[in-house]
Structure formats: C-alpha cells, structure tokens
Chain A
Amino acid sequence: MHSPTHSEVSRSELSWPDAIYAQFRRVSIRQVGYVPDAGHSRLIKLCQDDPNIADVVLTTEEEGVGLVAGAALGGQRAALLMQSSGVGNCINMFSLLRNCGFGCVVLVTMRGEFGEFNPWQVPMGSITEDVLKLSGFLTYRIDNASDVDDIVGAGCDMAFDGNLQVGILLSQRLIGRKQWTR
C-alpha cells in the first residue's frame, strides 16, 4: 500500500464531475459523446470548454458506441456520458465493442432508483447494471463522491490498458434527486 500523494488528495476534494474530468485529462480522453443529462451537465461543460476534447452531442446513445470505435481506430480514446435509459438504446451496438475489443468507458447517471419521482424511469433504471453486464461490461457503482476519483481512474485504466468495456454507474444518491419543484 502507498500513502496518497498530494495530487490524489487534492483530486479527492474535487466535486465529482471535476474528479471525472481530471481522470479524463490524466488518461488523455480526446472525444466525449453524450446525450445531455442534467446530472452530467457540469462534466459536459468541462469537456466542451477543453480544446483537446471533441465533444459530440448524439441524437441517440448508440451513436456513441460507433464514435468510440472510430476514435480507437484513429488512435484516440473516447468516453461516453449517458443517463441510465440510454444504456438500453445501445444494446445491439455494444456488440461492436466486444467483437473487436474496443476499450470503452461509459459513465451512466442513474435514474429510476433512490427517491425517483417519475415511475417511467424505473423499468430501465432497475435493469441498467444487469444490461451492461450482459453486454460484456465490467460495472462499478459509485454512491459517494469521495470514491469517484479512485473508481473512475481504475475504470479508465482497465478500459484503455486492457481494451475492456467498463460501465460506471453514478447513483441517484450521488447525483442527488431530480428537483421537480424548481
């Protein structure tokens, strides 16, 4: 075991979107595909403002799977940001990652769980992790902001050093309940 370095300590003090972004920088993510989600809004903004990252707004999440594959063919690393419902949109396209061994990190903001107001989110939200597993992904779930740096960092390393597919679920407890009254 090693003691935390200064940079690790400071990363763990970042807000969770900033901690994810710091990991994107560390592993040189160059393309980020996303279907907008309120939970991802700060991370999307950070990526949009980074001249080293091509941000690609998708019309449906499955487009992002193709984007990841194309980026890898061209020598770049890409990450995907989506809401739990988007995982269901990707199922067949995920076969591309598994068939060819494209490393991929998908960051999933969860809906349809803890304190969900909208029951229409529940059917997909309740099977999101299982769907990822069935599609060949390693999955990690994050409930606490203090775990984000460590888990996202480990997930990125596994994805891009080992050409594995990694899904990271950002739980509704982490991102906060959607505020319907605002």
Chain B
Amino acid sequence: MLDRREFVRVLLADRGDLLVVTGLGSATYDAAAADDHPLNFYLWGAMGGTAMIGLGLALARPDRRVAVITGDGDFLMGLGSLATIGVKQPKNLAMVILDNAHYGETGMQASATHSGIDPVAMALACRFKQARQVSRIEEAGEVRALLHSGEGPLLVNARIKSEDTPRVLPLRDGHAIKERFIAALK
C-alpha cells in the first residue's frame, strides 16, 4: 500500500506544463502538499465533478497534458463520466484514483471499492486506452511517466493506506483558484 503524500509528490515532481485537477478532500491536500502550483485547480466541493472538469480542459487544450487526481469517493460519485470520457477518447487525459477504500473526510466509512468494486475494470469497459492498479512506491515513477506521455484516456488506481494524513489547506476562494490557473495557462 502506498503512502499518499509520498506517491503524489513523485507524480508531480518536475511536472513541467502538466495541468492538474484535484478532487475535494485529501486529493486536494496531497497536491497542495506536493507543490502549490498555479496550474493546480483545487476542488473543495462539486463532488463527482472532477473527471468532467478534466475532460472539458483536455478538449479545450489538446496541446497540453491533463491529470485528474482524486479519491475513490469522488470517482465513484461520477462513474457516468467514465462513459462520457470513453466516448470522446481524449488522448491527453489521465486519471489517478487515490483509493483508500474509505471516505476519509467523514469518518472513514467504507466505500464501494472496499467491497471489491474495481475502477480499473470499469475504465477498461468504458474504452479507456489503458488502466492499471498500483500499490508500490517503486511504480510511482511509471505512473508519473504515464501522466506526461501515456496515451489517454488512461486511469491508474493507486491503492493507498487508509490512514489520517495532516491536512494541507491551499486556496479556498474559487475565483482566486480559477484566475490563478487561467493566468498561468496563458
């Protein structure tokens, strides 16, 4: 099982011009802890919407790589977007699920992945070009490479330890997060 902070730090190392959208809760904190970069679009709500923001961005900027980093709870709430993404086949879109099989923000209740519901199989069924599961830190470098050059749409389900991690709180003002992102992308 992966340490989420260590894993995300490797994913976002030397990130170049990678565009990142993070799902509410711990995924947002993990990205902020790794590097509070202006090309991070942090969500603090809109649960279930992270993947679709990634799709809109990937369609708008086919010249750039887009990484959606989110938890299993947000992913599960937006399952239909896997089909929507599968229809559009954005080559530049990658999704990383930080899967601890629990809802960490609300008291560690078990999520559907805890019962063996499989994001990798769902992504492949939705015509993602590749999907795999990782659980060892030695694999993090390969996942980082996928974010930068793997053919999308792709999904990596990262099995992480279900332990409480200190919160690292980035900007919360949605207008500021948006404007900072847009200014950095110009």
Do A and B come from the same complex?
yes
**Contact residues of A with B, CB < 8 Å?**
30-31, 54, 56-60, 62-76, 78, 92-93, 95-96, 99-102
Question: In the complex, A62 Cα to B84 Cα: how many Å?
Answer: 12
Q: Which residue of A lies closest to B172 (CB)?
A: A99
**B146, CB-defined interface residue at 8 Å:** no
Complex contacts, A78 vs chain B, CB 8 Å: 56
Indicate the size class of the contact surface on chain B.
35 or more
**Contact residues of B with A, CB < 8 Å?**
19, 21, 41, 43-61, 78, 80-81, 83-84, 87-88, 174-175, 177-178, 181-182, 185-186
- Residue pair B41, A73 in contact (C-beta under 8 Å): yes
- Return B105 CB to nearest CB of chain A, in Å: 15
- Return A33 CB to nearest CB of chain B, in Å: 8
Complex contacts, A54 vs chain B, CB 8 Å: 59, 88
- Residue pair A31, B56 in contact (C-beta under 8 Å): yes
A68, A69, A70, A101 pick with most chain B CB within 10 angstroms: A70
Question: In the complex, A151 Cα to B70 Cα: how many Å?
Answer: 39
- Residue pair B49, A73 in contact (C-beta under 8 Å): no
- Residue pair B57, A100 in contact (C-beta under 8 Å): no
- Residue pair B49, A93 in contact (C-beta under 8 Å): yes
- Return B49 CB to nearest CB of chain A, in Å: 4
**B84 interface neighbour in A59, A65, A71, A95, Cβ under 8 Å:** A59
